[in-house]
Amino acid sequence: MVNPLTYVFRRKVTEKFDFSDAELEALGSELKAEVNQVFGSSLAIRELDSGSDNSTEIEISNLGTPYYDVERFGISFVASPRHADVLLVTGAVTLNMAEAVIKTYEAMPSPKFVIAVGNDACDGGIYKGSYAVLGGVDKILPVDIKIPGNPPTPKEILRGIFALVKKASK
Amino acid sequence: MNSNQNIKSSLTLADPKLIDDCQLPMNPAIPATQYITNLLNDVSGKQPLIGKGKNNELYIPLGEEEFLKIMPVLSQKGFVLISLFCVQSFEGSSGFTLFYFFRRSGFTEVFAFIRHAKAKTTSIATIFPSACWYEREIRDGFGVEFTDAFDKRRLFLHEAYPEGFHPLLKSFKNGKIQAVENPREAYPFKQVDGEGVYQIPVGPVHAGIIEPGHFRFSVIGEPIFNLEIRLFYKHRGIEKLAEGKTPSACVPIAEAISGDETVANTVAFCTAVEKIAGIEIPARANHLRTILLEMERIYSHMGDLSGMITDIGFPRMTTPFLILRENIFRQNELLTGSRFMKDNIDIGGIKKDISGETLSKLSLYLETFAPKFESAVADVRASSSLIDRFSTTGVLKRDSLLHLILQVPLPERLELLMISGLTTHTESIEPSLRKERSGLQEMSFPALKLRLQKFRTQLSLYENS
């Protein structure tokens, strides 16, 4: 029989990862404390691209990579809007996506929040004035927080999420 | 959509034997101009007036009669349609000018056949199926009808756009339009009938952190019988946005097409302007552009690799590639101040010089990149469950290649595709690549390694200078 204690004392399976970012860790632990209090320990985010240049999505998905690994802070990206607390929208809303954006928002249970990520989601950005876009996300949805940038860095996005959690607690 | 059902049988493809013959390089002693002149003379008895472009392209204006005669012959001779676009009032002419771009193995030149059209013209999609999307795009943009096209559905203009709206017409001034509310017509997806056949709609909003697209699977139990993809949910009107602007004002627009192609698209746009205007760029700017292009390619490769591994449900293997990818983003930031290297390329060269010191730091970093990459690849190779899942996934059939003239970005992607089994039928890709054929057990990444090698060589040139 295997002694269960060997599992406790054996070497960790996780690889050594020689990376540490004090600023990120501090932000993360503050965020985690807030998420625990405001959202019952887990904040579910649904990402929605409504017509960005894809760099913003790349930075958002980078939040899940080993350098950031935001699941540690109680944040998870969920597959369905029905599981989401927050809708993270990127891109100037295109005419072709407008209906899908509204349907996605409507599918979310209340209370729900919207964050616009990137210059184009904030006010249409470079696509402003094109026949094919409506402009910023606030043209069709109530936006709680705007995170500008072309694209914002993963840390800036995390700060924006933190700002939302703070706002939601009020 | 009834007309869609027998497309495959109605395609007037050349005899497969002919195509095979054509894949062998032609006698290079015959210049392209001579070849195409002879061909047109044989077909129509006329001598074309061939113009030469600045980038090794031949412009061949054709009358309607010759155009219709030459298209099936081009197909027989193994020409491949690489692009088709429309220009309104080109060089003062009335109506529309269509540019059909072809390549043919054995020639380095690109052949551009020029055809004039009024509001109605004919389709070549039964001869070159890859023309289908281009023609639908032109119809949406300019309202040119391809009267005998087998697929006349709209492409990038979805239901929200009113019928008869054609944004690329010069008469349309860019600005807000009245969108259709509650459109009645739904997009007619291809219907597959039969016992036990049902459709699964996916998207445009789907599970991951990913760009939108709609996938309509027609399945019979487990096997997928047909997949139809509908895209362009993100149509942002970029072409119209650039209309009437100065070339420099278009650089940020080219940059905004796609974030992970920032450098590639901007360099392509700037190179086009430079060729047209006859601008020579400094050698150093050219080298720096190459470095940035390679950085972009490397992080894209890392993303593709981790993406493919995620897609077969084995995320644990993706982490080393994701770490390397993040490292490259950070190197990009050190080099240019932007993780995506935005706002760096400009017409005439590059906006900010990169110091020799920064470049040597990059060189030092790359020394550590290669072994980590190799070790990640070794892990992939050693995982039998991973190989097991890849080996039967995404096999591309020779038949589809011929009908759709699928282009595989070569040769860099070949090795990556090989993991997924995409090129199990390597013989169908191109004869010159057959020698690179290898089984899964022998898979390797020589193309990427070669890139890294070249990259380092280039960097060491700077250090020495």
Cα separation, B303 vs B321, in Å, equals 7
Q: What amino acid is encoded at B10 in this protein?
A: S
**Average pLDDT over every residue of A65-84:** 94
Confidence of residue B139 (pLDDT cuts 50, 70, 90): very high
Three-state secondary-structure class, residue B298: helix
Q: What fold characterizes domain A42-169?
A: Rossmann fold (3.40.50)
- Residues A163 and A145: beta-carbon distance below 8 Å: yes
d(CA B322, CA A124) in angstroms, rounded, equals 30
Q: Torsion angle of alpha carbons B183, B184, B188, B191, nearest 10°?
A: 140
- Note the pLDDT of residue B373: 84
Fold of the domain spanning B283-464 = Cytochrome-c3 Hydrogenase; chain B (1.10.645)
Q: In angstroms, what CA-CA distances link A169 with A66, A92, A108, A164, A166?
A: 29, 28, 19, 9, 5
Asked whether residue B23 carries a pLDDT value surpassing 90, the answer given is no
At B169 the pLDDT is 96
Q: What was the pLDDT predicted at A27?
A: 95
**Position B110 pLDDT exceeds 60:** yes
For residue B460, what pLDDT is reported? 56
Model pLDDT, residue B419: 34
Domain with CATH 3.30.460.80 in chain B: 2-146
Distance in Å, alpha carbon of B164 to nearest chain A alpha carbon = 15
Q: Tokens at residue B394, please?
A: 């995404």
Neighbours of B159 (CB within 10 A): 18
Whether B233 sits inside 8 A of A97 (CB atoms) is yes
Instruction: Kindly indicate the confidence band of residue B367, based on its pLDDT and cuts at 50, 70 and 90.
Output: confident
Residues of chain B with CATH 1.10.645.10: 283-464
User: Of residues B449 and B250, which shows the higher confidence score?
Assistant: B250
Of the candidate ranges B42-51, B288-297, B372-381, the one whose mean pLDDT is the lowest: B372-381
Question: Which amino acid is present at B194?
Answer: G
Task: State the pLDDT at residue B434.
Answer: 30
List all residues of chain A from 79 to 108 with a beta carbon under 8 Å from chain B: 79-81, 91-92, 94-100, 103-104
Q: Which of A15, A47, A54 is best to mutate for the B interface (most B CBs within 10 A)?
A: A54
A48 to chain B, closest Cα gap in Å: 7
- At residue B461 the predicted structure's pLDDT band, cuts being 50, 70 and 90, is low
Tell me if B71 sits within 8 A of B124, measured CB to CB: yes
Chain A contact set for B324 (CB, 8 A): none
Report chain A residues whose CB lies below 8 A from the CB of B234: 49-52, 91, 94, 96-97
* Residues near A148 by beta carbon (within 8 Å), at least 6 away in sequence: A118, A119, A122
Residue bearing tokens 């409506």: A134
Report the pLDDT value the prediction gives residue A6, as an integer from 0 to 100: 73
> Which of B238 and B310 is assigned the larger pLDDT?
B238
Residue A75 at interface with chain B, using a CB cutoff of 8 Å: no
Summary count for chain A: helices (H), strands (E): 6, 7
Q: Higher-confidence residue: A74 or B387?
A: A74
Residue B289 has pLDDT above 70, yes or no: yes
**Which of the residue ranges A134-138, B223-227, B295-299 has the most confident prediction, judged by mean pLDDT?**
A134-138
CATH topology for B2-146?
Beta Polymerase; domain 2 (3.30.460)
ipTM, two decimals: 0.91
Name residues whose C-beta falls within 8 Å of residue A98's C-beta, 6 or more positions apart in sequence. Answer: A50, A134, A140, B160, B179
